[in-house]
Structure 1
Amino acid sequence: MVSAEIVQWVEQAGPAVTAAVGAYGAAVLTRAQDTAADATVGLGQRILQAVWRRRDEAGRAEWERVLGEAADEQSDAYTTAVVSRLLKRALQDDPELREELAALVPAPAAGSVTVTAAGERSIAAQHIGTAITGDGHAAPRA
């Protein structure tokens, strides 16, 4: 059984890790961080590399294979599910890793809200009036 603490951490880190896998595929594990990389992708890359470094050779090969397959699917939902499962398993078995990664992604403050948009023309907002995506639309008239 995965602890609630691990589940919460994976939910917090999930968007960054999914973005990193989507941007780099399995190469995220061995790629040097690009200084111009988006902060979210960079965080996800650091998380995945921290877990990957703690694996033996066979474990690293398995992570590369699974992350490569997840990236090839080109589905954010699939990638998120695969990466979440991998992270939960790794964190459940390694208390030191939990501490290391907790420092990268601190727990949210009480009452905080996380809003994530994924995919072409996505919109993310906690509160929103009118939102229009797509081509050829005019703003509504008051």
Structure 2
Amino acid sequence: MPAVGAAVGAYGVAVVQQAETEAAQATVRLGQRLLDRVLRRTPDRAPIEAAVEDLAAAEGDPDALAALRFQIRRALLADESLAAEWAAMLPERPAVRADGARGVAVAGDVTGIVSTGDGATNVMRR
């Protein structure tokens, strides 16, 4: 709490916006470091650079993002040590936990029904 109190004392109510801005900047810096690492370590960086340019021009288009993700994944699969470096650069995921009665914790994707409850009837249609 002393750190929170100091932040509020320094920024007043703008502390919330300042915190959000700093979190966004930290994410951007991480993205820059990750991209720099893969570009420096990949022998044929042209496909990744082209995908970056396409995404920048497309302003967040999910297909352009998927194309960049595909190119980066190819580079990581081709170089295990690069993949390990990337993993070390990423923040640790918080532990997954479920709170409360009948709580459910999912780490990853759910492709089926998750149900908690007495006498529930679950029907999955395809």
Tell me which of 93, 115, 119 is aligned to 2:78. Answer: 93
Residues 39 and 48, structure 2, Cα contact 8 Å, conserved in 1:
yes
Distance 1:79 1:43, change over 3 A: farther
Distance of 2:31 and 2:49 partners within structure 1: 15
Q: Deviations over 1:10-47 (max 9, x none)?
A: xxxxxxxxxxxxxxxxxxxxxxxxxxx81111100110
Equivalent residue number for residue 62 of structure 1: 47
1:44-83 equivalence runs, <5 A: 44-56=31-43, 59-83=44-68
Distance of 1:87 and 1:80 partners within structure 2: 11
Equivalent residue number for residue 42 of structure 1: 29
Aligned residue identity for 1:67 = V
Deviation at 1:83, TM superposition (A): 2.2
1:1-142 equivalence runs, <5 A: 38-56=25-43, 59-111=44-96
TM-score, structure 1 normalization: 0.46
Gaps of 5+ in 1: 1-36, 114-142
Aligned residue identity for 1:47 = L
Deviation at 1:86, TM superposition (A): 1.6
Distance of 2:48 and 2:57 partners within structure 1: 14
Distance of 2:69 and 2:92 partners within structure 1: 16
Aligned residue identity for 1:43 = L
Equivalent residue number for residue 130 of structure 1: none
Distance of 1:91 and 1:39 partners within structure 2: 23
Task: Count residues in correspondence.
Answer: 75
SS, match of residue 75 in structure 1: coil
Distance 1:107 1:93, change over 3 A: farther
Return the index of the structure with the highest Cα Rg. 2
Which deviates further from its counterpart, 41-50 or 69-78? 69-78
Using the aligned pairs only, state the percent identity.
Answer: 37
